[in-house]
Structure 1
Amino acid sequence: MENLPNAEAPLSDPWLAYFADRGHTGVRRIGAGVEGVVYRLGEGRAAKVWSGRPPADFDLVRQVYADLAQHPLPFSTPEIFDVEYQEDVLVTYERELPGDPMRVDSAHTAHERELPTQQSDALIAVLRGLAAVPGTDAMRQLTVQGDDRPLWRDHDCFRDALAALAARAAARHGAALAAYVPDFEAGVERTLKALRSLPDAPVTAIHGDLVPPNIHIDATGRPVAVLDFGFYTTAGDPAFEAAVAAAIWDMYGPHAEEHTAELTRLFARELGYAPATLTAYQAAYALTTYDLFGLDDRDGHFRWCTEQLRRNAVFSA
């Protein structure tokens, strides 16, 4: 569970007393975000008081957490121990995740040109850890944000499932993307062909959103927790995780393009992934997320996706 910003509690917060009355001592509000407010309960546990309805696939996400928790990873992952409703308000009791965010997202502070070895080593450790977790049925049943069906429905391999998702995403608002990306239709076809031509790969746990705030580290820089599964969480080729992580680590900084290229080369070398596979997956990620927040270049993510596609060697070949 993430230590979110805006954690300062109002003087009359009734949930402090609510949890204290249930035997939790030293209750403290530690975070507040879009989903709700987080409280530390002690003994490695925390509670989230949800401010709205949980995601439609909440039960699946909970099962994914349980699937991850079965494996001895070198870092903690979320786990929901119990769920209750208090006057129609959802309360989840979860594992409190250790550490602090590796760094602030590049949308809020510029990353320096030199990529710290400590951070790249932490990223590789996380990628290796997640790649050791087999993909599960619950992971296969999850729906990628923005889509209308589970990624794996009607498919028995990741490359075909991802190609079908990319085709659906391009059809959603492709005209908006084509206004900014030359030779759009041909680029889509090149990407789909590249995806469908990928070799067989292991099916492992995919987080899908390894931006810096979603990796917590300790004082030595070692990754101790990975959080916020759900945005693009699925089962699939671990090379997809590496490709996306390289692309989104620094999305908006002045050296973003250089960092993406550097991390892509590093992951190819250290993890044994084919560079062409990573490039195809990076095109697929941009093509499947471009319209989640806006449909023109006033939106930062849309603009980032158009830039990715214009310079991607698979899409723009």
Structure 2
Amino acid sequence: MTAPLDTDWAAVFDALGHRSAGPIGQGMEGVVHRLDGGLVGKAWTGPHGAGGRRLSRLSAFYEELAAQHLPFATPRIVARHEHRGTAVSIEHELSGTPLTEAHGLSDATVEEATATVVTALAGTEAGPAARALSALGEDTPLWAGHADWPTALAALVRRRAAAFHPVLAAAVPDFDTTLDRLLHRLERLTGRGARGGEAIVHGDICPENLLVDGAGRVTAVLDWGFFTTAGDNAFDASTAAGFRDMYGPEAARRDAALLRRFEALGHDRERLLIYRAAYAVAGANAYGADGKDGHFAWCAAALRRDDVRAALGLRGRAAD
């Protein structure tokens, strides 16, 4: 049982000894309040967040993350509580303005912020806490039963494809062939992050999750846990390029610009596109099972892209 969504969380935090200044955010995983003393409180009310086990894993991961000495701040949990079956965390407040709200920044500055985070994570070394995290709201850790990143990711892709096959197949006419080619490509991956030496993967590097100062420099990165794991930094490079602008009129141009930038930094273009397809299958139904939301449409469109299809060894344009 979890606390109802209309719980007076300000009163709950006050009872825990932390005066609330009011809510500052609410999303799929919970409600966040600003507290006194430079803290924030998060009630993990969402379908993927309730329960202490996941919060315990995240807390251990945050400590592992802090030991990487990244050039930006990351979350730290200072206390954990439970209220009527709902996990509650008390964390240090991270400074900065969400990149989506930092008006007046140039395209180049936003691109630089995204690249800064991806490049910094390339130098990390994932440990057991990163491997203990689950992805996309699953209960079982992504790495459970797997010895390396490609097989762990391929297994996730298989599970998600099986769970949401009807809507995926309806949106991508040759979905079964696409899936077979994708799994084959994933299982053949080699290199750092493929057969050992994994980096920490955030999995959701988007403007909403980056805090910046007035000049657009990254001060903190939020919302680890949606797809956070141990893996290949190229996965973050690929997805961050796409998440930079998913729905705007300049989305394709901005995506292409970041893909070119990451390729210039040493990432293989084909590998980036294979990971784009992997995310598209695994993440398509992250926000709804019926395939009627914008995120699903973005993922389905990615699987129909000519460059993605070519990276999977598919010829010709997918039918619409």
Question: Into which bin does the TM-score normalised by the smaller protein fall?
Answer: 0.7 to 0.9
Question: Deviations for 1:26-62, whole angstroms, at most 9, x for unmatched residues?
Answer: 86235141412412322x4333345573465211111
Q: 1:179 to 1:221 in 2, by over 3 A?
A: same
What residue is the counterpart of 2:216 in the other structure? 221
- Check whether the contact 2:167–2:291 (CA below 8 A) recurs between aligned residues: no
Question: Any idea what SS the aligned residue of 2:240 has?
Answer: helix
Q: 1:123 to 1:81 in 2, by over 3 A?
A: same
Question: Deviations for 1:72-124, whole angstroms, at most 9, x for unmatched residues?
Answer: 1110000101123467664422111010101159xxxxx99x97111111111
User: How does the TM-score come out when normalised to structure 1?
Assistant: 0.84
Question: Any idea what SS the aligned residue of 2:36 has?
Answer: strand
1:169 counterpart = 2:160: yes
What residue is the counterpart of 1:6 in the other structure? none
Give the aligned length.
295
User: How does the TM-score come out when normalised to structure 2?
Assistant: 0.83
1:205 counterpart = 2:200: yes
1:124 counterpart = 2:115: yes
Instruction: After superposing the two structures, state which structure 1 stretch, 125-134 or 73-82, moved more.
Output: 125-134
What amino acid sits opposite 1:247 in the alignment?
G
What residue is the counterpart of 2:98 in the other structure? 101
What residue is the counterpart of 2:293 in the other structure? 299
Matches within 5 A, 1:113-262: 116-147=107-138, 149-201=140-192, 202-262=197-257
State the percentage of identical aligned residues.
36
Question: Any idea what SS the aligned residue of 2:91 has?
Answer: strand
Question: Deviations for 1:127-163, whole angstroms, at most 9, x for unmatched residues?
Answer: 1222222111111121111545321122221112111
Question: Any idea what SS the aligned residue of 1:57 has?
Answer: helix
Q: 1:190 to 1:125 in 2, by over 3 A?
A: same
- Check whether the contact 1:215–1:227 (CA below 8 A) recurs between aligned residues: yes
Q: Quick one: distance in 1 between partners of 2:14 and 2:88? A: 14
- Check whether the contact 2:263–2:269 (CA below 8 A) recurs between aligned residues: yes
Instruction: After superposing the two structures, state which structure 1 stretch, 87-96 or 166-175, moved more.
Output: 87-96
Q: 1:169 to 1:50 in 2, by over 3 A?
A: closer
- Check whether the contact 1:41–1:47 (CA below 8 A) recurs between aligned residues: no
Superposition CA RMSD, Å: 2.7
Deviation at 1:17, TM superposition (A): 5.1
Q: Quick one: distance in 1 between partners of 2:172 and 2:84? A: 50
What amino acid sits opposite 2:190 in the alignment?
P
What residue is the counterpart of 2:76 in the other structure? 79
Q: Quick one: distance in 2 between partners of 1:55 and 1:85? A: 8
Deviation at 1:273, TM superposition (A): 0.6
Structure 2 unaligned runs (5+)? 1-7, 316-320
Of residues 269, 272, 282, the one that matches 1:275 is 269
Q: 1:276 to 1:169 in 2, by over 3 A?
A: same
Q: Quick one: distance in 2 between partners of 1:89 and 1:177? A: 33
- Check whether the contact 1:67–1:136 (CA below 8 A) recurs between aligned residues: yes
Q: 1:168 to 1:91 in 2, by over 3 A?
A: closer
- Check whether the contact 1:104–1:212 (CA below 8 A) recurs between aligned residues: no
Question: Any idea what SS the aligned residue of 2:200 has?
Answer: strand
- Check whether the contact 1:135–1:204 (CA below 8 A) recurs between aligned residues: yes
Deviation at 1:239, TM superposition (A): 0.7
What amino acid sits opposite 1:139 in the alignment?
A
What residue is the counterpart of 2:284 in the other structure? 290
Question: Any idea what SS the aligned residue of 1:284 has?
Answer: helix
- Check whether the contact 2:21–2:34 (CA below 8 A) recurs between aligned residues: yes
Q: Quick one: distance in 2 between partners of 1:101 and 1:198? A: 35
Q: Quick one: distance in 2 between partners of 1:16 and 1:189? A: 49
